[in-house]
Chains A and B, each alone.
Chain A
Amino acid sequence: MDHKIGLACIIDDDSMYVNLVKRIVEAKNLCKNLMVFKNGKDALNYFEAILTNLDKKSIPEIIFLDLNMPIMDGWEFLENFTNIKNKLGKIITLYIVSSSINPVDIERAKNINSVKDYLIKPVTIEDLEAIFLKQIL
């Protein structure tokens, strides 16, 4: 695949899940690079740093965001991210990937503009492939 995604990003504190997604991405050759943050705060720090030194190559095209995380959870990250995302000068597609099946969470996510979709864990390999494919088309 020539038009493969350059950079994808996972924000999730579950190292086992991250590890597995990494393997899938590698095995299926879904993107060139994958960056991982263990919580919202780490990810936010990264994006804020990019703002001061804009390098489009370091901005992921796609983000998979967990909700339940220590230090800064997914909601709080979203709040902050929405404020800075337009300044990044690049379209970023954001998916929430959570094990929460709470309808309140799902409804809340749907009402946030920057969220493309809400995926419930476990995600399947097909889901991931479809999402990456959609991104290129």
Chain B
Amino acid sequence: MLQNELFNNVIRDFNAGYWELHNDPDKEIWSKKFYESLGYKLKELNPTIDHFLGSLIHKEDVDIFRDNFLNYKRNNVNFKQHIKIQTKTGNYKLFRCATNDELPVDIKSQINLIFFFEIKLEPEQNIAKDNFYYKETAQMTETGSWYVDFHKRKSYWDFETKRILEYPDDYVPSLKDSANYYAEDSQQKAADCFFNCAMAGTPFNTEIKMITSNKRVFWVRAIGKPVYNDNKEIIGIRGVFQDIDDIKKKELSLQKSIDIIASQNSRLFNFAHIVSHNLRSHTSNLSLLVQLIEDIKDPKEKIDLIKEIKHISYSLNTTIEHLNEIVAIHTNKDQEKKIIKFQDALNLVTNGIGQMIAIGKTKIESDFKDLKEINYIPAYLESILLNLITNAIKYKHPDRDAIIKIRAYKEEGKEYLMVTDNGRGIDMNLFKDKIFGMYKTFHYNKDAVGIGLFITKNQVESLDGKIRVESEVDKGTTFIIEF
């Protein structure tokens, strides 16, 4: 032991245990205070570096400490380090290690020493103060903390978590039924987050819908991360819930507006493109014709060519009519919706094209028992039925009479209309993207104009519905409209 009294006083003031390093590596001297701070009596332990590294110091700190220790011993390189050391009772205590250069200058020791200053929890006062700030922060940001303890199989919520979930202060959260704290459509997501965090240690930071004790569904930002024990095993998950309902609702409504604007914009762009393209083909013909008329000398031929203007004018008119029809869809979409019986609409349509149906020996089988009526613009429903039925008749299979099956039904709260034919079908590989385009025809039929399905799609979409098609060549085609 050191004999210098001054030095001993300093050590006492330091309130620290220490080592004296000696040349014999197995014969370090550990101070009484060092034994005591770990809960042992003097010389109860074997004061060797091997024992220290092997049994006392926390695994995480071993490598760095060993390097520091040897460097200090051999080369006199001072160091400072935080380490955790296991006490007799099995708990770990945190120490700050320091070496000779921590000593006051005037008492430089000849011997290499390592001091262990125990780091204690902060005084009670500070905790109370921090607690105040913590509560303030939690309330102001509506952020509650929680902890899930896997060993005790318990959840802990702080006051703010209970407040945002509308539970009383003395509520004890249930771990077993924890899925019930999430809205039905968020339960799987919550389960995935917690499972991945518990099994793989993956932290999460996500937006999720929770449900309060009063059954109010609201948006929460949930952040969680794994808690490890000293053996690096995950023993729990700690995290926060922040009430972001207001922000999230604004975000969602903003997103909805953006979607509507984007789809309107895309339709407008599409329409502009259609107008430009369809008018151009006529105007360019007109311009070519005028050139020709000017260029040709023979008066008789000139008059022949002038007659061609009539054809162009006729085509131009037809195109304009088609374009008007499309514009009308978008201006008419605010027309009053009415409850219409599918059967009534179908009767109206089949009466109108009775001759066409009869000539083709078409059989129409309707089934509206699952969904008898719908709130829709009557003219649109009739136009949709008319287009799909006339299409099915026009493109019937040459070897068989047309059978058209029409069914309305409800699925997951949404209303559907399905029109299936046994016609010649459309090659989906070739025409998938073009079926609903304007002036797109897929068959060699003379009367194929390529406007019907384009209008149908526009009508359906103008009322926020969707239309899709399934088809197989030689088997038939099915159109499914989601209203």
Residues of A within 8 A of B22 (CB): none
Say yes or no: A70 contacts B315, CB within 8 Å: no
Complex Cα spacing A16 to B318, Å? 15
The residues of A that contact B286 with a CB separation of less than 8 Å are: 122
Name the contact of B292 in the complex, choosing from A14, A71, A125 (C-beta under 8 A). Answer: A125
B280 CB within 8 Å of chain A: yes
Which residues from chain B contact A23 at a C-beta distance below 8 Å? 292, 305
Q: Mark B263-292, 1 if CB is under 8 A from A, else 0.
A: 000000000010011001101111111011
Does B312 belong to the interface (CB within 8 Å)? yes
- Asked whether, in the complex, the Cβ of B291 is within 8 Å of the Cβ of A71, the reply is no
Main secondary structure of the interface of B (DSSP, over half): helix
Closest-by-CB residue of B relative to A125 is B291
A-B pairs with beta carbons under 8 Å apart, 29 shown: A14-B285, A16-B308, A16-B315, A17-B281, A20-B288, A20-B289, A24-B288, A24-B292, A24-B295, A27-B292, A27-B295, A27-B296, A68-B277, A68-B439, A70-B450, A71-B442, A71-B443, A99-B281, A99-B284, A102-B273, A121-B280, A122-B285, A122-B287, A122-B288, A123-B288, A124-B288, A124-B291, A125-B291, A125-B295
- In the assembled complex, the Cα of A19 lies from the Cα of B311 at a distance in Å of 12
- Which residues of chain B are within 8 angstroms of A68 by Cβ–Cβ distance? 277, 439
Query: Which residues of the other chain, A, contact B295 by a CB distance below 8 angstroms?
Result: 24, 27, 125
Those of A5-46 within 8 Å (CB) of chain B: 14, 16-17, 19-21, 23-24, 27
A121–B280 alpha-carbon span in the complex (Å): 8
A72 to B443, CA, bound (A): 10
Q: Is A16's CB under 8 angstroms from B312's CB?
A: yes
B289: nearest residue on chain A (CB-CB)?
A20
Additional 16 contacts, C-beta under 8 A, given A16-B308, A123-B288: A16-B285, A16-B311, A17-B284, A17-B285, A21-B288, A23-B292, A27-B292, A68-B277, A68-B439, A70-B439, A70-B448, A71-B442, A76-B430, A99-B284, A121-B280, A125-B288
Q: How near does chain B come to A125, taking the closest CB pair, in angstroms?
A: 5
Closest to A97 in B: B284
Q: Is the CB of A70 within 8 A of B440?
A: yes
When distances are taken between beta carbons in the complex, the residues of chain B under 8 Å from A121 are 280-281, 284
Please, what's the 1-or-0 string for A95-137, where 1 marks a CB less than 8 Å from any CB in chain B? Answer: 0000111100000000000000000011111000000000000
Contacts of A17 in B (CB 8 A): 281, 284-285, 288
Mark contacts of A78-94 with chain B using CB atoms, 8 A cut-off: 1 yes-contact digit, 0 otherwise. 00000000000000000
Q: How far is the CB of A101 from chain B (nearest CB, A)?
A: 7
Interface hub of B285, B308, B443, B444 (most chain A Cβ within 10 A): B285
> Does B78 lie at the interface of the complex (its beta carbon under 8 Å from any beta carbon of A)?
no
A100 touches B285 (CB 8 A): no
Which residues of B (430-445) have their CB < 8 Å from a CB of A? 430, 439-444
| Chief secondary structure at chain A's binding surface | loop
**Among the interface residues A17, A72, A76, which one has the most CB atoms of the partner chain B within 10 A?**
A17
Which residues of the other chain, A, contact B311 by a CB distance below 8 angstroms? 16
Chain A 46-64 residues near chain B, CB threshold 8 A: none
| CB of A96 to closest CB in B, whole Å | 14
Q: Which residues of chain A are within 8 angstroms of B440 by Cβ–Cβ distance?
A: 70
Q: Which of A99, A102, A121 neighbours the largest number of chain B CB atoms within 10 Å of its CB?
A: A99
A68 CA to B295 CA, complexed, in Å: 29
Q: Chain A's nearest CB lies how many Å from the CB of B310?
A: 11
A interface, CB within 8 angstroms of B? 14, 16-17, 19-21, 23-24, 27, 68, 70-72, 76, 99-102, 121-125
Q: How far is the CB of B448 from chain A (nearest CB, A)?
A: 7
Distance in Å: Cβ of A39 to nearest Cβ of chain B: 9
> With a CB–CB cut-off of 8 A, which chain B residues contact A122?
283-288
The answer for the CA separation of A14 and B315 in the assembled complex, in Å, is 11
Closest chain B CB from A63 CB (angstroms): 19
B285 neighbours in A (Cβ, 8 Å): 14, 16-17, 20, 122
Closest to B443 in A: A71
Chain B proximity of A132: nearest CB distance (Å): 15
The listed residue (A20, A24, A70) touching B442 by CB distance below 8 A is A70
Closest A-chain residue to B312, C-beta based? A16
Q: Is the CB of B291 within 8 A of A99?
A: no
What residues of A have a CB within 8 angstroms of the CB of B305 in the complex? 23
CB distance from B470 to the nearest CB of A (A): 21
- What residues of chain B lie closer than 8 Å to A102, measured between beta carbons? 273
| CB-based nearest A residue for B431 | A71
Report the minimum CB–CB distance from B156 to chain A (whole Å).
59
Asked whether, in the complex, the Cβ of B448 is within 8 Å of the Cβ of A99, the reply is no
User: Chain A contacts of B439 at CB under 8 A?
Assistant: 68, 70
Q: Min CB distance, B300 to chain A, in Å?
A: 13
Q: Which residue of A lies closest to B440 (CB)?
A: A70
A123 CA / B280 CA spacing, docked (Å) = 12
A101 and B279 alpha carbons, distance in the complex (Å): 12
Question: Which of B284, B439, B442 is the most central at the interface, judged by chain A CB atoms within 10 Å of its CB?
Answer: B284
Chain A: minimal CB distance from B305 (Å): 8
Chain A nearest CB from B54 CB (Å) reads 71
Residue of B nearest to A38 (CB): B444
Please list the 4 inter-chain residue pairs (A to B) with the smallest Cβ-Cβ separation, ordered nearest first: A122-B284, A121-B284, A122-B287, A70-B441
